[in-house]
Amino acid sequence: MIRTCFFAMLPKKGGHHKNYIHCASIPRNGQFMRYVTGQIYHGGEFTEGYFGFEDGIIKETGEGLKKDTLAKGIIIPTFTNAHTHIGDAVIMDEVQGGIREIVAPPDGLKHRILRDTSQEGMRNSMRQVAKNMLYSGIEHFNDFREGGLKGVKILKDAFSDSPISPKVFGRPSDLRYYKDEMEQLLKIVDGIGVSAISDWEEDEIKSVASHTKREGKMFALHASEAVREDIDSILDLKPDYLIHMNKATDDDLKICAENEVPIILCPRSEVFFGHVPDIPKMLKSNVTLALGTDNAMLNSPSSILREMEFAYKISRLKGGCKAKDILDMVLINPRKVLNASFDICLTQGKDANFIVFQLPYKNPAYALVNGACAQNISIICINDFLWSKK
């Protein structure tokens, strides 16, 4: 069947997510192939062509444009938001102050508010975030979830009926290592994500990191965000990736590249706190870069398009970079970092998880990075969710 309204949501594998849209249903007899055509992103390059999909799988591909398709435009895999704190979405007021006053544990503004927010209030806020992310074409996101075991369970519950696949990085309930708490956390998280080493006693954070790695889970942390921190001390923790690195030296970046430690940038958040990341320098160091929106009280987790545009434009302050470099930071690179559906070629036999943008596509990467918005989206396919703009 096809559920239709001003914006239509079509069943992709016979399922639907009633929490996201309510509209009339029109029965259709049997399954049928649907087609999209335009400039298609294949693992880093754009080529003109088309594909047909059915039951959530790409069944047919071809070169050149095809007539009578569901949509025509720039066709890309779904987005990945590589770093979020979605619990912060409960904070609706304008925030004032610097990093320490607003986000530093344990008593920064956000941590005080999170402690005072009910579980139901937190859950409802996250569910709204889930809806917004879905309609922005975000399939994966990586969240640093505060609040210990309880905080992780709230996030998982909020996304339990969403097509989106979160990577949940929990953390201890305070800046201490407790073996029992860590054992319980590591049973239900994808990894552990903590604040900077400067917030922790050395023995405590080393115990957290080593326990995480023993269990085969990922470990990540914020690093050199507002001041430079010792790269050797950071890498001694064997992180899978780092967040920010605004104050990293050339040697710090070189060491990260040599040790294959990726860096997640959050340019809008970083500039909010007065720090401009040197994206061209980081690219020249050959370190793997990905983009995240960071704190939900500052930037909506669904606004990955705005993050791309901002990153591209502030890079010009440091010499500039290619639009495609920025696009790769939300398509290819974060999947490498998070081990999330790494093979994203839109080819026959692959999952039909993609977005279609109705935009001029002489230069697809530039069109997407330099000013695309959610209103340009005509199709979103994520797992059993298929949405079509009518």
pLDDT digits (tens, 9 = 90+) for 187-203: 999 999 999 999 999 99
Rg (CA), the chain: 21
* Predicted local distance difference test score (pLDDT) of residue 347: 85
Q: Tell which wins on pLDDT, 23 or 237.
A: 237
pLDDT at 2: 34
pLDDT of 5: 32
Per-residue model confidence as pLDDT tens digits over 216-249:
999 999 999 999 999 999 999 999 999 999 999 9
Beta carbons of 143 and 86 less than 8 angstroms apart: yes
The pTM score is 0.92
- For 130, other C-beta atoms within 10 Å of its C-beta total 27
Rounded CA-CA distance 118/188 in Å is 22
The answer on pLDDT for 124 being more than 70 is yes
At residue 384 the predicted structure's pLDDT band, cuts being 50, 70 and 90, is confident
Using a pLDDT cut of 70, give the percent of the chain over it: 91
Please give the class, per CATH, of domain 79-338.
alpha beta
Provide the pLDDT for residue 336.
87
**Comparing 18 with 119, which gets the higher pLDDT?**
119
Residue 162 has pLDDT above 90, yes or no: yes
Binned at pLDDT 50, 70 and 90, residue 40 comes out as very high
106: preceding bond cis by omega (within 30 degrees)? yes
Token pair 């720090």 in the structure block, residue: 275
**Does the pLDDT at position 6 exceed 60?**
no
The pLDDT of residue 307 is above 90: yes
Q: What is the dihedral of CA 39, 141, 291, 191, to 10 degrees?
A: -140
Task: Give the separation between CA 387 and CA 10, rounded to whole angstroms.
Answer: 6
Model confidence at 286, pLDDT cuts 50, 70, 90, reads: very high
Domain with CATH 3.20.20.140 in the chain: 79-338
Looking at the predicted structure, is the pLDDT value of residue 145 above 70? yes
Least confident of 155-164, 255-264, 313-322, 336-345: 336-345
What's the CA gap between 32 and 54, in Å, rounded?
Answer: 6
Candidates 2.30.40.10, 2.40.30.110, 2.60.40.1170, 2.60.120.260; CATH matching 2-78+341-389? 2.30.40.10
- Could you give the CA distance from residue 208 to residue 205 in angstroms, rounded to a whole number? 5
What is the spatial distance between Cα 309 and Cα 366, in angstroms, rounded to a whole number? 9
Q: How far is CA 80 from CA 202, 238, 292, 369, in A?
A: 32, 24, 8, 15
Residue spans in the chain of domains classed CATH 2.30.40.10: 2-78+341-389
pLDDT in the model for residue 31: 58
